[in-house]
Amino acid sequence: MTLQYVTINATRDSLNTDGIHMGRSTGVNISDAIIKTGDDSLSIGDGSQHINVEKVTCGPGHGISVGSLGKYHNEEPVVGVTVKNCTLINTMNGIRVKTWPDSPASVATDLHFEDIIMNNVGNPILINQEYCPYDQCQAKVPSQVKISDVSFQGICSMSGTQYKSVSKEWGFTIVAYRFYQTKKRETENIGMKLNIAAISLLLLLTSVAEVSGDTYFDVTKYGAQADGKTDISQALLTAWEAACASPIVSRVVIPAGIYALGQVTIEGPCKAPINLIVKGTVRAPVDTSRFKPQAGWVAFQHLDQFTLSGYGVFDGQGQSVWGQKCSRTKYCNQLPINLRFNFLTNSIIKDITSKDSKQFHINVLGCRNITFFQVAITAPEDSQNTDGIHIGRSRGVNITHSTIQTGDDCVSIGDGSEQIDITKVNCGPGHGISVGSLGLYKNEAPVIGIRVKNCTLSDTTNGVRVKTYPSSPQGTATEMHFHDIVMNNVSNPIIIDQEYCPHNQCNLQVPSRVKLSNISFKNIRGTTSTELAVNLVCSKGAPCQKVELGNIDLKYTGPEGTASSQCKNVEATLWGTQQPKTCAQAA
């Protein structure tokens, strides 16, 4: 049975109005639905098998639940539940498995929750085997519902609650009896297999814009004027200093309006989490002499549990500088980046726009566990050197549900980047999504664990690519995976280029020494505007290893001919559809 494009609507205070409840059913598919109600958006009862829930938006409500289980005798097993690519907004709970204490014996197994977005959700990830909504249970008698093979993967969140949990450092709650205890770590004490590596630590954060009892600092109370002329830098810094010194969660607010903002550095550490809420449009100076060289227009640094939000716009006013010749001068590198995030941890950037930057829009350096959610980046396709988001020397960066339209790489990933996840990003115009360029400098740190998934590229000059300079120092880049990508009229959709030389000033006779390995391109489809659709040019000095291509379906839209491929110094594993035929003569 399939339920698709279903809308369910009731007020949040409507008691016991579960959206869809299923029980004793096999092969139920729910997709592309919107559920707003007063109880569970979806509840999955006993005897449910092979249930697939995908692309469902929930909220308000109580979230998506397996259970409650164990209330009655002779309940049937729950086997094979997959919840994927869903969004939960303002729900009391997120995704949960719940069983009653003092229950009869039963089983729930093979439960998987993947690629879930949480927006101001209470208790985003919850296994509760002490479920007792009316406090009438024998809580000291353990549940006998055996839970196993549970995974939570690719989950990022702007959570509305803090946690009192066994596993607080992971940002989820597991309340499970030791009735099935093993000798494994505490999160496995019911014999379950939990895949938690992909869960963002940001689940631990409070969405500070929603927390009661916080302090509020309005920059207009500190002298800021929304006249588009008066520099609000000092007012912003004064408000920030007051908020930073507060021992409780604080908000600094730039209200609606148009503001002039000079070069400013917003710095920590602070005593408590802070949310900078930008509701208006802030504009950078047009005159580049008002900026220190190689610095950002607005820089945030040394902050923990920081949130930038508010649906505001950072307008770099970069139109006057885009025509400069960067290939022959260092001029472009001296221009200010719109937003710099330096050495941030456990932070969220959401619901903001970067517009018309003079150089990169966003630069991420030395950060740990930072998420970009619903970020919009916009500049004309001829705006030079305006990378959307550049990442370097950072770990655990998540970019999701964002739109990037610019004149250079939508996302560029530099050396020292580890565990980077890019999902549901719309890119174009621009130069695509790139790992690199690598190998330009000595002592570059390894790149490890790049995942680009469920993205769409439109009218870009490149698709997904890895690029390194020839004649480079030694380096490594490994575990790079590009999956489920749609290409719309994209030039050069799939590229490995170890002869990258943008200004023709390289020694191509000396091969790159950046070692590339464990690279996969899977489920990539769409149209290419260049005949050469798959171009894998690896280094003859360090050939690519463990390259995999599966289900590639790219159609050439030119006037004549068909899509083609080129492979050098690579041995690739091929499976599924291969259009164009790829690496048939790889060596």
CB 515 within 8 A of CB 485: no
Note down pLDDT in tens along the chain; length 587 residues. 989 889 999 998 898 999 999 999 988 999 889 999 999 999 999 999 999 999 899 999 999 999 999 989 889 999 999 999 899 999 999 999 999 998 888 999 989 999 899 888 888 999 999 888 877 776 678 889 999 989 998 887 654 443 333 333 333 444 443 333 322 323 333 333 344 433 443 343 333 333 334 589 999 999 999 999 999 999 999 999 999 999 988 999 999 999 999 999 999 999 999 999 999 999 999 999 999 877 799 999 999 999 999 999 999 999 989 977 655 555 566 899 999 999 999 999 999 999 999 999 999 999 999 999 999 999 999 999 999 999 999 999 999 999 999 999 999 999 999 999 999 999 999 999 999 999 999 999 999 999 999 999 999 999 999 999 998 899 999 999 999 999 999 999 999 999 999 877 777 788 999 999 999 999 999 999 999 999 999 999 999 999 999 999 999 998 888 999 999 999 899 999 999 998 864 44
Cα of 121 vs its chain's centroid, Å? 17
- What pTM was estimated for this model as a whole? 0.69
> Hey, which CATH number is domain 2-204, 3.40.50.300, 3.40.718.10, 2.160.20.10, 3.30.365.10?
2.160.20.10
pLDDT value of residue 323: 78
200: its two tokens: 């963002």
Distances (CA, A) of 402 to 276, 398, 481: 19, 11, 19
How much helix, strand and coil, in percent to the nearest 5, is found in the chain? 5, 50, 45
Instruction: Give 380-447 as a 3 state SS string.
Output: CCCCCCCCCEEEECCEEEEEEEEEEECCCCCEEECCCCEEEEEEEEEECCECCEEEEEECCCCCCCCE
How many angstroms separate the first and last alpha carbons of the chain? 49
C-beta contacts of 579-586 below 8 A and 24+ residues apart:
579/552, 579/553, 579/554, 579/555, 580/533, 580/534, 580/552, 580/554, 582/534, 582/536, 582/549, 582/552, 583/534, 583/536, 583/549, 586/536
The CA distance from 426 to 311, in Å, is 18
pLDDT value of residue 201: 34
Cα of 287 vs its chain's centroid, Å? 34
- On the question of a common fold for 2-204 and 409-587, the answer reads yes
List the one residue out of 312, 316, 378 whose CA is nearest residue 350. Answer: 312
pLDDT value of residue 505: 75
- For the chain, the domains span 2-204, 409-587
**Which residues belong to the active site?**
62, 431
368: its two tokens: 């740990």
pLDDT value of residue 334: 81
For domain 409-587, the question of CATH label 2.160.20.10 is answered with yes
The CA distance from 199 to 194, in Å, is 11
Residue 480, SS3 per DSSP: strand
